Amino acid sequence: MSCDRSIGVRDDGGARAGASPGRSGAGRPARRAAPARRVGPLSALRAAGVAVEVGGRTLLRDVDLSVGVGERVAIVGGNGTGKTTLLRTLVGERPPSAGDVHRPRDLRLGWLAQDAADLAGRFPTLGALVRDGATELVALERELADLERRLDAAGEDEALALAGRYADARERYGQLGGDALDADVARILAGLGFAPGEEGRDPTELSGGWRVRAALARLLVSDPDLLVLDEPTNHLDLESIRWLEATLATLRGGLLVVTHDRDLVDAVAHRVADVAAGTVTVYDVRRPGEDGGFAAFLAQREERLARLHAARAQQDRMLAEQERFIERFRYKATKARQVQSRLKALERVERIEVPEARALRVRFGFPEPARAGRTVAELTGVTAGYDGRTILDGVDLVVERGRKVALVGPNGAGKSTLLRLLGGRLAARAGEVRLGAAVTAAFVDQHAADGQDPGRTALEEFRGALGERAGRADARSTLAAFGFPGDLAERRVGVLSGGERMRLALAMAMVSPANLLLLDEPTNHLDMASRDVLEDALVAWGGTVVLVTHDRHVVRAVADAVVEVRDGDATWFDGTWQELEARRNPAPGAGDTAAVGGSRRRSDAPARRRGSRPSGDGLAPLRRELADVERALVTAEAEAADLARRLGDPGLYEDPEAVAAAIAAHGAAKDTAAGLMRRWEDLGTRLETAEAEVAATGAAAPVSRRGRPRSG
């Protein structure tokens, strides 16, 4: 067996490389033709009854999981539940404590870990590093070059034999798509965000994140039977994530991926493996339409938890009945045999375990921030950069109080630079950066945890950040709301996971007196449950947020304005991410749904469809219905925001019944608001279509019950 740890292809039998994804037609991934490609094993990997122990503690038990060629399985779960440890066990980096992991002898396994080993120093160029992943093609190229040298020096008889071998090798090379290898390498690198021509770049010049991208490109070129990825989107921008989704969705081999990105689950997963409470439960999410993907997983998990609760309640009643019998007849000789029989039966009962609700969510709470002036931050003609290189050039930007602004754009475009300017961590070369009256900023970047003292406890670190603003009891209560209850607050920072350290950094920032939060990739290392609650808290918080994240779900949930940073400029879009996407890819017959520029709070979103309308055009009923839905939507969003604020109160969690009621009410309010939003968008689209038809004909048209003008 040979393996380039963490970034290579494990070859448990002969060597071979196949096609790699490129781009063709309508942006879909392309493959090199490979009619002679060996078909991989039907079952790429199978785990049966696997248990994993770490430090004498059983982390996972009774894991049954299989991935076949062509199957795509997403592994999800909370921080610290054992997802990465499970992957390392499945790929053979550590033995299971019990059970078996079966990997076919001829399985080619591509494995990309979060801490991928670095191959940059082994290759002269980036292109050489990536194309080396196509191991059989590279070997064939060496064989062909050797045969050419030998042919030049061979006699007539030897030349005939060498020519036959050369023809066979050349045919095999063409069948495997070797003639398109360099083009595929260029396409894959472009899809992952590398600029044209960077194939010739020295890979040692790349930063850590770009080296991980190069390692991922190398794996994609190798086209393994089973591709195993641990949070592959961590170092990718939105455009690269979309490209990767399209590529992974068309893999011919199997895919096993740990991810906290629910959009990636929606795009690629056939099954979801949920790691929780020491077990792995697999859900089939290959349902068509709206019921598929991550939503199908959530629905099935809730159904399963409900069944577990019912089964646990029934088991508890049975056990209580047996215990009453034992206690009643324990000392009666005539019942001694029955008592002993029931005692032994109780010892053999396997107790049903139900994951605690608190294990599924981490709660974030916010104090109400001090009120700032209307203009929170303003950039005028700002130019900035590093080491003589200009990143931002002549940027003008105004952020007003209460806005939730997402900065998007490719890696290296200047999103973090813009945040650092706003936070006073970088001085502008030209222009002016001004914060408004009474504005206090808190900055949390993706490296915030690096500044924490590993020798202090989480509580000590937290109290050190708060200073005199909180007493010991208040500090413990608040820290518990951020996922550090009881003894967890006494754990040393040095032993906390990456997600736990990020939660601690967020806790210290979010309970500060700041009224401007500057967040650079705050969801890195956070699990899905933590991201959900962070989203709710950011929406409910009364301050101003400027956010950089590549998690589209967070952008959709939080942002009421989007700033696209690209080519040295920052372009303001006054609307949600969904509206920006709709504007770029309008549905047939749909008009513009938002305008660029200006300022608006999220609760005012329905008003953006209002404006002057011609009277007497027969569309009044549809407009009245739209107005009614707008009012209901504003009310529903306000109710959801109030409930989110309540969930952010650490004192709430002293009463389990109140917590359950508040969570249920919050979920119902969000569902109601989501339904009204869909209704509002549908009505708005229908009204715009009808108005466009009226404008085109220059006359009023009768409106059908569905709100569309009748023809004729």
pLDDT tens across 395-407, in order? 999 999 999 999 9
Strands 404-408, 561-566: pairing kind: parallel
Instruction: Give the C-alpha separation, 463 to 471, whole Å.
Output: 8
Where residue 24 falls among pLDDT bands split at 50, 70, 90? Answer: very low
Residue 149 CA neighbour count, 13 Å, CB half: 6
Residue 197 lies in a domain: yes
The pLDDT assigned to 675 comes to 80
416-438 pLDDT, tens digit each: 999 999 999 999 999 999 999 89
Instruction: Average the pLDDT over 449-463 and give the result.
Output: 87
- Report DSSP state, residue 172: H
Helix (H) or strand (E) holding 419, with range, is helix 415-422
The pLDDT assigned to 670 comes to 77
CB–CB of 65/282 below 8 Å? yes
Instruction: Give the C-alpha separation, 258 to 77, whole Å.
Output: 9
How would you class 88 by CB atoms within 10 Å of its CB: exposed for 0-12, middle for 13-18, buried for 19 or more? middle
CA dist list (Å): 252 to 17, 18, 39, 87, 112? 13, 10, 10, 21, 18
368-382 pLDDT, tens digit each: 788 888 899 999 999
Closest by Cα among 443, 616, 424 to 518: 443
Residue 469 lies in a domain: yes
Residue 708 lies in a domain: no
Shared domain for 595 and 616, answered yes or no, is no
CATH number, domain containing residue 653: 1.10.287
Residue 570 lies in a domain: yes
> Hey, CA dihedral for 540, 541, 544, 550, is it positive or negative?
negative
53-99 pLDDT, tens digit each: 988 889 999 999 999 888 999 999 887 788 999 999 999 999 999 99
Instruction: Average the pLDDT over 521-536 and give the result.
Output: 80
Cα-Cα end-to-end distance for the chain: 74
- Can you list the positions of beta strands (E) in 370-444? 375-386, 389-400, 404-408, 430-435, 441-444
Answer whether residue 342 shows pLDDT above 90. Answer: no
Answer whether residue 360 shows pLDDT above 70. Answer: no
List, in sequence order, every residue forming a beta bridge with 77; answer none if it has no partner. Answer: 275
Count of all residues that appear for the chain in the document:
712
Answer whether residue 451 shows pLDDT above 50. Answer: yes
Instruction: Give the C-alpha separation, 73 to 631, whole Å.
Output: 42
CA dist list (Å): 357 to 361, 528, 650, 656? 7, 14, 16, 10
Shared domain for 526 and 540, answered yes or no, is yes
Shared domain for 132 and 228, answered yes or no, is yes
Place of tokens 């952010």: 648
Largest CA distance in the chain: 104
Q: How many CB atoms lie within 10 A of CB 353?
A: 11
The pLDDT assigned to 287 comes to 60
Answer whether residue 479 shows pLDDT above 70. Answer: yes
Got the DSSP string for 560-616?
SEEEEEETTEEEEE-S-HHHHHHHHSPPTT------SSS---GGGGGGGG-S---SS
Answer whether residue 2 shows pLDDT above 50. Answer: no
Of all residues in the chain, the percent with pLDDT exceeding 70 is 80
Lowest-confidence pick of 218-222, 295-299, 348-352, 570-574: 348-352
Domain boundary among 244, 266, 286: 286
Helix (H) or strand (E) holding 100, with range, is strand 98-102
- Report DSSP state, residue 449: G
Instruction: Give the C-alpha separation, 688 to 622, whole Å.
Output: 10
List, in sequence order, every residue forming a beta bridge with 296; answer none if it has no partner. Answer: none
Instruction: Give the C-alpha separation, 204 to 199, whole Å.
Output: 13
CATH number, domain containing residue 551: 3.40.50.300
The pLDDT assigned to 594 comes to 39
Averaged pLDDT score across all residues of the chain: 79
552-574: buried (b, 16+ CB within 10 Å) or exposed (e) per residue? Answer: bbbbebbbbbbbbbeebbbebbb
Which has more pLDDT, 505 or 498? Answer: 505
Of all residues in the chain, the percent with pLDDT exceeding 90 is 29
174-191 pLDDT, tens digit each: 888 888 888 889 999 999
Domain boundary among 549, 577, 600: 600
Got the DSSP string for 483-536?
T--GGGGGSBGGGS-HHHHHHHHHHHHHTSS-SEEEEESTTTT--HHHHHHHHH
Phi, psi of 591 (to 5 degrees): -95, -175
Residue 44, SS3 per DSSP: strand
The pLDDT assigned to 152 comes to 86
Which has more pLDDT, 685 or 696? Answer: 685
Residue 362 lies in a domain: no
Helix (H) or strand (E) holding 102, with range, is strand 98-102
The pLDDT assigned to 648 comes to 59
Shared domain for 380 and 399, answered yes or no, is yes
Q: How many CB atoms lie within 10 A of CB 664?
A: 11
Shared domain for 569 and 634, answered yes or no, is no
Which has more pLDDT, 694 or 613? Answer: 694
Domain residues for 612? Answer: 605-697
**Assigned token pair, 394:** 């002549």
The pLDDT assigned to 529 comes to 76
Residue 291 lies in a domain: no
Shared domain for 609 and 581, answered yes or no, is no
Q: How many CB atoms lie within 10 A of CB 625?
A: 16
Residue 707 lies in a domain: no
The pLDDT assigned to 429 comes to 95
Shared domain for 234 and 257, answered yes or no, is yes
Closest by Cα among 50, 109, 44 to 85: 50
CB–CB of 606/680 below 8 Å? yes
Instruction: Give the C-alpha separation, 233 to 241, whole Å.
Output: 6
Where residue 40 falls among pLDDT bands split at 50, 70, 90? Answer: very low
CB–CB of 414/390 below 8 Å? no
The pLDDT assigned to 595 comes to 38
Tell me how far the alpha carbon of residue 128 is from its chain's centroid: 30
Highest mean pLDDT among 289-293, 295-299, 543-547, 688-692: 543-547
Tell me how far the alpha carbon of residue 392 is from its chain's centroid: 28
Instruction: Give the C-alpha separation, 365 to 479, whole Å.
Output: 9
Answer whether residue 472 shows pLDDT above 50. Answer: no
Q: How many CB atoms lie within 10 A of CB 6?
A: 20
Query: 26: alpha, beta or left, given left = phi > 0 and alpha = psi -120 to 50?
Result: left
**Assigned token pair, 183:** 């083009």
CB–CB of 282/272 below 8 Å? yes
Highest mean pLDDT among 144-158, 254-268, 599-613, 681-695: 254-268
The pLDDT assigned to 136 comes to 87
Residue 540, SS3 per DSSP: helix
Shared domain for 212 and 320, answered yes or no, is no
List, in sequence order, every residue forming a beta bridge with 565; answer none if it has no partner. Answer: 570
232-271 pLDDT, tens digit each: 988 888 889 989 999 999 888 899 999 999 899 999 999 9
Closest by Cα among 157, 173, 179, 145 to 22: 179
267-318 pLDDT, tens digit each: 999 999 999 888 999 999 986 444 568 888 888 888 888 888 888 888 888 8
Where residue 42 falls among pLDDT bands split at 50, 70, 90? Answer: low
Answer whether residue 651 shows pLDDT above 50. Answer: yes
Strands 43-54, 98-102: pairing kind: antiparallel
Instruction: Average the pLDDT over 31-43 and give the result.
Output: 44
Shared domain for 411 and 304, answered yes or no, is no
Residue 146 CA neighbour count, 13 Å, CB half: 8
Residue 361, SS3 per DSSP: coil
The pLDDT assigned to 258 comes to 94
The pLDDT assigned to 697 comes to 64
Residue 526 lies in a domain: yes
- Report DSSP state, residue 46: E
Residue 666, SS3 per DSSP: helix
**Assigned token pair, 550:** 């590549």
Q: Which residues contact 455 (CB under 8 A, 6 or more apart)?
A: 492, 493, 494
Shared domain for 618 and 596, answered yes or no, is no
The pLDDT assigned to 700 comes to 40
Instruction: Average the pLDDT over 526-534 and give the result.
Output: 79
Instruction: Average the pLDDT over 543-551 and give the result.
Output: 93
Residue 232 CA neighbour count, 13 Å, CB half: 32
The pLDDT assigned to 446 comes to 72
Answer whether residue 638 shows pLDDT above 50. Answer: yes
Domain boundary among 566, 600, 634: 600
CB–CB of 355/276 below 8 Å? yes
Shared domain for 234 and 165, answered yes or no, is yes
Shared domain for 20 and 141, answered yes or no, is yes
98-136 pLDDT, tens digit each: 999 999 888 888 998 876 666 778 899 999 999 998 888
Domain count, the chain: 4
